[in-house]
Structure 1
């Protein structure tokens, strides 16, 4: 196999990710256009070397090196855009332009092969380390940790490969030769490049795909207005927890909450004011509860709190704390203070409980809390109350709902 054919296969392997980037352009993912352009330029860089038999040396060398410098620069800019950081386009473009100019001088001013090789590897190592630093700093932005680990291995692997190349051709005393007629060391770097370069672009593709997947999952899991758990996810969690309680005899308390006089807030301040009230309510309640518990929105102004491993006494204390904290955290709308209170119905798990049954008991207790003056929590009676359909919208105790 000739070296040119080797570079052709390397370029085609690098280009495998290219058509997979294109569908993400419609989603406006940060950095996706930069990743796509970088992938295309990296392929061009490799194909230029593969064309060494048909192109003049001065053409394929400068095209290949310039395309790679631009590709690496775009990877850095794209990663910053992806994580919502300032892209630093002018600084990156300036450094890239200086590097390409230096390549031209080293090629046409005396054909300094050693200088070109060292410049190529120093720029690659520096650019990869800068990109890897950004990825490392933002590594917690993705919940799927394996993706970030893979991406860091790819980018730091590329940096390490070129750092080794610099060391071999400086302190190692090896004489650099053209990649088209490689020495054993040059062949080693080619083989490693076949792994690291395609792996980098596949890792970037996986980063984009995983981010989109996590955003879609979050949209299903969390209510878009309040960021509490959505109705679907909180009811699914309730079902799982009831099955666990039945299996191991665990404890569970379910607190159904409703904002007092929410209709009057909606009527006076409009739906925008109602949405603000819902967000404020959810934020305050989530600060008041234990981090281990799960808080979700059933619909309208009705919410539910699942308190794990909690008996009735502890659950009642926790429920009363929610009322107290909300009372002490007034909402401000249009420059006016709007007091907010909540009423709750509390039910604890009984053997044989279903999701419908425990929610119906909590609902009945909530109704009693409303009847007895609001801003309070009532315990559910142990008897069964009429069940609610699991997929039906909850009753709006105060009438109108916000247009969330």
Structure 2
């Protein structure tokens, strides 16, 4: 039993339904562009259904082609905008505003004025190549530092497949290697092009699903690694960042543990909202001193940790001392109260050949020594403590 164009459109409609279900599963996550992708997939289903019905029940070809191809143009444009938003790229409004009417008018001229099936196929294929090439630029990372995740790789491969397919299709019919009477022509080349095009578009929509899933996973991981109150790293995120620093083979680092002094008294006297404001005020000052390179984490309650990659341990101590000074001179104005802040800190030298936990234990011991000594100061862990732990 041979496969004909009618069967190809029926299979394409089936794949559109499957992809629609996958896209709708992501729609509730609120990802940008996903609802547009859902609408694009729904329109694609309508288009292939109309074209299938045209061939199945021998509808008048011109109206069916106008509806079917008009709907698929809308679907492709929506999918284009969806990928732009999902990839955080600007939508090329001017390009779409100029290119879309030109392509549509050209297609109408071919369909109504000069009804050449060959010319129509070449025109549509060339427009397809231009659009898919533009989409490759959308999906490709905007900066060298951006990771090219699996979803983007899959989408790029699907786009390159479509570009190669449509280029071949345009070349075959433009050079007269093959001729086709109409869309339902059972010619093996026509059937093969339709089938492969349906496969490529289904793969592209699946690529949108994978890109959306990659983004959703990245956002959830970012949420898990970020403290919702202060915006610094959570314990999980801070440990992951330092583990990444260690894996890159950087030099030794200074780790400073900070614990706000008398924080419980602030909560008891001014309320928990004031305590939250204190934490945010403290982090703002610490960030301003540590700079963009500082790796700051909230390890629990009022306890924080900071390190600065690429700097000597003494630089971290300077950050701590400067932060103490600024906190002293910049109390938090909360309602009608002025809340003075300070912290007790413990600084440890983390050697890259030792576990992170060992350095944290030394910093923690030094921090509690600072509290016992009188607070509002930083104690540097004994440099011999690391050697003692190794014995």
* Shorter-chain TM-score range: 0.7 to 0.9
Tell me whether 1:59 sits opposite 2:63 in the alignment.
Answer: yes
Tell me whether 1:215 sits opposite 2:219 in the alignment.
Answer: yes
**How many Å apart are 1:73 and its aligned residue?**
0.8
Cα 1:263–1:81 change in 2 (3 A) is: same
**How many Å apart are 1:205 and its aligned residue?**
0.5
Cα 1:288–1:185 change in 2 (3 A) is: closer
* TM value normalised by structure 1: 0.72
Cα 1:98–1:349 change in 2 (3 A) is: closer
Deviations 1:264-305 (CA, angstroms, capped at 9, x unpaired): 9997x965575254144246436465xxxx642113442124
Contact 1:347 1:359 in 2 (8 A): yes
**How many Å apart are 1:252 and its aligned residue?**
8.4
2:369 alignment counterpart: 368
Count matched residues: 365
List alignment gaps of at least 5 residues for structure 2. 334-338, 386-391
Task: Please state whether the residue corresponding to 2:31 is helix, strand or coil.
Answer: coil
1:319 alignment counterpart: 316
1:173 alignment counterpart: 176
1:386 alignment counterpart: none
Cα 1:109–1:165 change in 2 (3 A) is: same
List alignment gaps of at least 5 residues for structure 1. 245-250, 384-404
* TM value normalised by structure 2: 0.75
2:6 alignment counterpart: 4
Deviations 1:243-282 (CA, angstroms, capped at 9, x unpaired): x9xxxxxx98753124579899997x96557525414424
**How many Å apart are 1:215 and its aligned residue?**
0.8
Cα 1:324–1:98 change in 2 (3 A) is: same
2:303, 2:282 → 1: CA distance?
Answer: 13
**How many Å apart are 1:212 and its aligned residue?**
0.7
Cα 1:319–1:259 change in 2 (3 A) is: farther
Aligned counterparts, 1:5-404, within 5 A: 5-51=7-53, 52-54=55-57, 55-88=59-92, 92=96, 95-138=99-142, 143=147, 145-170=149-174, 172-177=175-180, 178-234=182-238, 254-258=255-259, 271-272=276-277, 274-282=279-287, 284-285=289-290, 287=292, 295-305=296-306, 315=313, 317-323=314-320, 326=323, 343-347=344-348, 359=360, 361-370=362-371, 371=373, 374-379=376-381
1:353, 1:115 → 2: CA distance?
Answer: 69
